[in-house]
Amino acid sequence: MERFDAINKMHIFVVPDGTAHGNDKLYQLRAFIDAYNEKLKEVVIPGKYLCVDESMNQWLGHGMPNLKKIPRKPHSIGQEWKTVADVNTCCIIRLDVTGDTLSKKFDRLVEPWFSLGRTVIADSWFGSPAMVRALKDVGLFSIMQVKKKRYWPRGMPMEDMVGSLGEEVGDVKVVKSRIDSVFIASLRDKKPRCVIANAESTTAGSTESRWIDGQMHTVTRPLVFEECEVNKGAVDTANNRRDKLPSFHDVMKSYNWEIRCLAFFLAVAEANAFSTYKYVEGEGAPHHFEFRWRLARSLLEHAELMRDGSLFDSPHFGSRTSTGRHEITSLGKLPSGDYRRLRCIICHKRTQNFCLCSSDYHPLVDEKEYDLQQVGNNVVTEEKKRLIHLSEDSDAQELDVIQELKIFRKVSAKIQPTTLSDLRLMSITEYLPEAAQ
């Protein structure tokens, strides 16, 4: 904790430079953002859909150069980031700061996936005909929401896409471009909606019942609206997991905005780890709080092993679980209807539930295998005592105990008896010449 507190007080991204600060207020973050994005690009391969949205790094202090206030956001004051998330895993895979003086280019967010044919899902902050065509030029498809604030985005049809909709719920209007594959679709739902895209289809999708204005309506949405609705929440899901209490924002308290940015990046990394774990484990994944508890404990144990110099000698190296805790997950039932019960070879307890101490290093076994394991341990202990006794015998001074023990380790790994009687009759000395070769 002393080292962590020292980092929390003294950490800087780069050495302060007055000249660089005059040219770019965010000069301290540039190199770190690039390195962070490069590492994310290496470890996460996204699926078909990329979700683009904004994320807020809450900050109520002073000094942050690109501080913004967006009332519609849950954390309305702070640093806004343009964010890309993989829809399959809800992992943040790229970040770019907003509100800076450098050129504002949307395609910087999706540059690693140029010419790979993925589909970008975005909200109305990004949606416009020019944006869809720009992404198509670099080999990406798009489905983006479009909203009319004071005016429609430049390039929209002269006819008002929402105003021309009929009054009946479920009414659809589609306008297609004559020069390329871009089309605009509007739908009369609880609120009028409009998307611009060059992917998916405008054919009718699933039908659902909606309660609108005190009446039940049956609405059939085009497939392009369904794809947008299903895939547009990946960044919001990642943000909710990042902000879930207790978050890094609450733990790493600081009056330094650079430290606040560091806490934001750490929170993104932790949320990505949980999202990936949840995607792999499926329904068997623990709650987020439980995952954080395990992650923190494993990191502390890892640091302790590194400090003691015994990291690679530990039998728990590489295990993501702790031998002192048990997960309440049933092992199922036998054909007879009785609950299945196994024994842990580390804590020696019988359980009818899946044990957290179970892993490749110490699995749960049935009683027969457990007895074989215990007898085998006894044989190993007796043979080790015999070798040590021979080393102390004055008539066997030429015995190289170290070499003998090395041979013994090879031999003990070969012993795989099928019955208790075979194990009791087996003599390790019979294998010594073979192992020495």
pLDDT at residue 168, as a whole number: 81
Same domain, 209 and 100: yes
Alpha helix (H) residue ranges in 97-158:
129-137
The pTM of this model reads: 0.65
Domain boundary among 263, 278, 293: 278
What mean pLDDT, rounded, does the chain reach? 75
**Residue 312 domain-assigned (yes or no):** no
pLDDT at residue 420, as a whole number: 39
pLDDT at residue 143, as a whole number: 93
**Residue 55 domain-assigned (yes or no):** yes
Same domain, 123 and 253: yes
Structural domain total, the chain: 2
Domain boundary among 247, 278, 309: 278
Same domain, 375 and 267: no
**Residue 326 domain-assigned (yes or no):** no
The pair of three-digit structure tokens given for residue 11, joined into one six-digit string = 């950490």
**Residue 164 domain-assigned (yes or no):** yes
389 lies in which domain range? 370-436
| Cα dist from 421 to 104, 365, 386, whole Å | 77, 20, 21
pLDDT of residue 423 exceeding 50: no
- List, in sequence order, every residue forming a beta bridge with 94; answer none if it has no partner: 84
- Report the range of poorest mean pLDDT among 24-33, 82-91, 306-315, 414-423: 414-423
pLDDT of residue 45 exceeding 60: yes
Same domain, 270 and 374: no
**Residue 220 domain-assigned (yes or no):** yes
Same domain, 273 and 411: no
The pair of three-digit structure tokens given for residue 386, joined into one six-digit string = 């015999």
For residue 321, what is the DSSP state? S
pLDDT at residue 140, as a whole number: 93
Calculate what percentage of the chain has a pLDDT beyond 90.
Answer: 17
pLDDT tens, 106-125?
Answer: 667 888 999 899 999 998 88
CA dihedral 280, 284, 287, 289 (to 10 degrees): -70
Q: At what angle do helices 367-392 and 401-414 cross, to 10 degrees?
A: 160
**Residue 269 domain-assigned (yes or no):** yes
pLDDT at residue 158, as a whole number: 63
Instruction: Report d(CA 288, CA 352) in Å as an integer.
Output: 25
Reported as a pLDDT band with limits 50, 70 and 90, residue 218 is: confident
pLDDT tens, 335-394?
Answer: 777 777 777 766 677 777 665 544 444 456 666 666 666 666 666 566 666 665 655 554
Domain boundary among 260, 278, 296: 278
Same domain, 160 and 25: yes
For residue 306, what is the DSSP state? H
**Residue 348 domain-assigned (yes or no):** no
pLDDT at residue 367, as a whole number: 67
For residue 198, what is the DSSP state? S
pLDDT at residue 390, as a whole number: 58
**Residue 333 domain-assigned (yes or no):** no
